[in-house]
Amino acid sequence: MAFARVMEDSGSQGTPPTHPKLMDWLASEFVRSGWDIKHMVRLIVNSQTYRQTSTPSKTLATMDPYNQLFARQTRYRLDAEMIRDQALDISGLLVRQIGGPSVRPYQPSGYYSQLNFPKRTYKYDKGNSQYRRGLYTHWQRTFLHPMLKAFDAPTREECTAQRPRSNTPLQSLNLLNDPSFVEAARTFAAGILSSPEKADHQRIRSAFESVVLRQPTHRELMILEQLLIETREGYSGEPERGLELVKVGLNQAGKQCPPAELGAWTAVTRALFNLHETITRY
């Protein structure tokens, strides 16, 4: 693989490849496969190099801080579209239909109010279109969807070789309050409440593993259990707040659940969706 610090300049003025022979071999293999892109992707992701852990040893971090030797996996935040897709997939809402027209997810009212000639109106889609992959999201020139913008998706006004990756409070607010994420978290919570597991710690363990694909540590488990207890007490005193959650989004999952339990478990699932580990590729 080639290593280039600046993707926009990988020619004669850019950083030279660190593994030119490997680049030559991959190029030859691409030709031999009949220009089969799926074959190349499968070849790379199944390689030992790609499947390494992203956690470096102290010695390796000192010797190769930029991972030019590919002795470990790289770690970075998921792209904007993938973050929403992941939440929908975990909750069971994601529609995997391939192809078709653009779709319109939930969006703040008045977001297009500054656009004139003609005036734009926005109506979010109903039915399965609401839960399709972010790849198909309607793209208004210079006014891309707020969630995509918050997570550094490009505006497509110019070519972008590599997306920036920021870390801002707005992203956490988006994960906590965007209707798509609230709906996904509530649907996930409703699924937890309908599971055969009855003990809180068992349900938390199962939910945690579904999101980040590992068991929680003792400290993580205690923190989530405390969050569940505190929010359960809060919703018990104000059950109407739990009922308000069902009104978020088109899906009515959780309608039959006790409001206090639904609210408490939705708080837990929203916290899980907001974990750094959830939205980061390791």
Q: Encode 124-144: b = buried (16+ Cβ within 10 Å), e = exposed.
A: bbeeebbbbbbebbeeeeebb
Any idea where the domains of the chain sit in the sequence? Answer: 20-74, 171-281
Query: Is the model's pLDDT at 11 over the cut of 70?
Result: no
Q: What is the pLDDT of residue 198?
A: 83
- Side-chain half-sphere CA neighbours of 5 within 13 A: 5
Query: Is the model's pLDDT at 39 over the cut of 60?
Result: yes
Predicted TM-score (pTM) of this structure: 0.88
Query: Is the model's pLDDT at 50 over the cut of 80?
Result: yes
Do residues 69 and 18 touch, judged by C-beta distance below 8 A? Answer: yes
Residue 95's SS3 state is strand
Do residues 160 and 152 touch, judged by C-beta distance below 8 A? Answer: no
Q: Encode 50-73: b = buried (16+ Cβ within 10 Å), e = exposed.
A: eeeeeebeeeeeeeeeebeebebb
User: What is the pLDDT confidence band of residue 164, given thresholds at 50, 70 and 90?
Assistant: confident
Taking residues 165-170, report their average pLDDT. Answer: 91
Query: Is the model's pLDDT at 67 over the cut of 70?
Result: yes
**Alpha carbon 114 to chain centroid, angstroms:** 29
Query: Is the model's pLDDT at 29 over the cut of 80?
Result: yes
Give the pair of three-digit tokens for residue 88. 């929908």
User: What is the pLDDT confidence band of residue 242, given thresholds at 50, 70 and 90?
Assistant: confident
Going by C-alpha positions, the residue among 250, 233, 251 that lies closest to residue 242 is: 233
- Looking at the chain, the whole-number percentage of residues with pLDDT higher than 90 is 62
